[in-house]
Amino acid sequence: MLHPLACTETQRTEVIGAYDLAGYRESGGLDDLAAFAAELCDTPVALVSLVEADHQQFLAAVGFDQPQTGRDTSFCAQAMMAADPVTVVPDAREDARFAGFSLVVGAPHIRFYAGARLLSHEGVPLGAICVISPEPRPQGLTDFQRRGLEILATAVMGRLQDRRAQREHLQTVEESDARIADSERRFRTLADTMPQMVWSTLPDGYHDYYNARWYDFTGMPDGSTDGAAWSGVFHPEDQDRARARWQHSLATGEPYQIEYRLRHRDGTYRWVLGRALPIRDAQGQITRWFGTCTDIHEQKLALEEREIVSQELSHRIKNIFAVISGLIGFAARSHPGFAGIASDLRDRITALGRAHDFVRPHSEQSRPRSRQDSLHGLLDDLFEPYRGRSETRIRVSGDDVLVDDRSATPLALLFHELATNAAKYGALSVMAGMVDLEVQRQGDMVQLCWIERDGPVLEAAPVHAGFGSQLVELSAVRQLGGEVERDWNPTGLVVTIRVPLASFRRP
């Protein structure tokens, strides 16, 4: 708080301006306090004086008709700067500060004066509430009157401060409204220049804004798609799906994303990508949703064309596998001595074909039941011919691992070879035999443990590695970058394969 004596006129002028007191006397807001001051001190005149740079104006007056007087004849200008909250002048003719004042020498012939200074909450002196009499009063004020005059000064400042607070609040609201309006103009300008359609909703999903691009794209009149009318420009087959996805986002707060067909102004439907995110306050409550619609029609058509070409190429590759198998069978019939080798070769090609068919692009009708990036799904597909009527003859358990077309070929050769050997010589060669394949992720490695049980008793490991064993090494070690360990237990073969996780799928 400033000391009254340390306050400059510039500071006083700024503070007085903050109260906006022009015309305040006409409102009569302080008349009752001035009248009570006159009654309290038993004087014919009481004033609430606001001292400005060149004059003093009276915000309330009892027994005095002039609205203002010059500052050079102002008692209150002296009182507001005094150290004592209340200034008392028993006889102005005998006080050197006031004896020469025109209001003392002439009408209204002021003799007695008592004034309580008015201070703003910053400590800036504004004026005083005073009482005046043409009769001198040697006894001055009683303690009760002095205290009462101080209380009235506090009451005056309370009312003035309320007026100031209301004005500042109004200014704050106006400035805030102006900032909001400016921000809204900036947002709308930015949104209208974007190539995407931009929209926003209230927390309950009521659409209350679309940018110019939306109306230009759809050809709808301004405001015609507010509320829930937006779905009317969606393709009839997409409306329920889009509405359900939007309701889910509204209920959960999850981001909204969906592809749907939107009616263009020319009457055709074009594919768009719709996205929306919630805006939350400090407490986490959703205050608005902002969303965009992006025209992806050309990209969608190009993707569909690429899918068709990819499926056609994959289908032709699958046919090539079938042709090669047919040629091998034809050669085997022409050369009976080649029949055994031909059968093994045809089975391996069939396994490759099954792996290719699993990971190749598919339509909705031809897509496998299992996920196309699942190791378990690929193995289940490969082992299907060996299971027969019993689903438990080859059991795959443990962790699933993501695979792609690069790893599918060596995996198909690897496990086809193990399954074929088990069917010829191992656990799957007898009805009671079975195989467990356990998959376990170990950091950045994957361990696949092939365990045969309840098959023929194994006497010893083979002395020479055959073509099948070499094929296992080729697939697991050279192509997948792993290592293979075989354990020829009497109860059944155990093959442990450790492969880097990165070999199963591209980053």
Q: Residue 264 pLDDT > 70, yes or no?
A: yes
Q: Of the ranges 39-53, 168-182, 246-260, which one carries the lowest mean pLDDT score?
A: 168-182
Tokens of residue 375, six digits: 């190791």
Burial of 159 from C-beta contacts in 10 A (0-12 / 13-18 / 19+):
middle
Torsion of CA 104, 105, 107, 109, to 10 degrees: 40
Mean pLDDT of 414-430: 83
Task: Note the pLDDT of residue 488.
Answer: 86
Q: Considering the chain, what is the average pLDDT of its residues?
A: 81
Tokens of residue 312, six digits: 């056609």
Report the half-sphere exposure of 236 (CA within 13 A, side-chain side): 0
Task: Note the pLDDT of residue 345.
Answer: 61
Compute the radius of gyration of the chain from its Cα atoms. Answer: 48
Give the separation between CA 276 and CA 258, rounded to whole angstroms: 10
Mean pLDDT of 315-322: 57
Q: Residue 368 pLDDT > 60, yes or no?
A: no
Sheet holding 68-70, edge to edge: 68-70, 55-62, 45-51, 125-133, 112-119, 86-89
Q: Residue 212 pLDDT > 60, yes or no?
A: yes
Task: Note the pLDDT of residue 9.
Answer: 84
Q: Residue 41 pLDDT > 90, yes or no?
A: yes
Mean pLDDT of 453-460: 81
Tokens of residue 360, six digits: 């190749």
Give the separation between CA 207 and CA 221, rounded to whole angstroms: 15
Q: Residue 384 pLDDT > 90, yes or no?
A: no
Mean pLDDT of 207-216: 86
What is the tens place of the pLDDT at every residue in 27-37?
888 899 999 99
Mean pLDDT of 237-251: 92
Distances (CA, A) of 71 to 48, 76, 82, 368, 431: 14, 9, 16, 98, 121
Mean pLDDT of 142-161: 91
By DSSP bridging, strand 434-442 and strand 68-70 are unpaired
Task: Check: CB of residue 210 under 8 Å from CB of residue 224.
Answer: no
Highest mean pLDDT among 9-23, 133-147, 344-358, 475-489: 133-147
The closest of 218, 220, 183, 181 to 197, measured between CA atoms, is: 218
Q: In this structure, what are the phi and psi dihedrals at residue 476, rounded to the nearest 5 degrees?
A: -75, -40
What is the tens place of the pLDDT at every residue in 75-125?
999 999 988 999 999 999 999 999 999 899 998 899 999 999 999 888 889
Task: Note the pLDDT of residue 375.
Answer: 84
Per the DSSP assignment, residues forming a β-bridge with 449 are 438, 496
The closest of 184, 195, 240, 245 to 217, measured between CA atoms, is: 195
Task: Note the pLDDT of residue 468.
Answer: 62
Q: Residue 450 pLDDT > 60, yes or no?
A: yes
Band of pLDDT at residue 253, cut at 50, 70 and 90: very high
Distances (CA, A) of 202 to 180, 231, 257, 289, 290: 17, 16, 18, 7, 9
Task: Note the pLDDT of residue 361.
Answer: 53
Task: Note the pLDDT of residue 302.
Answer: 73
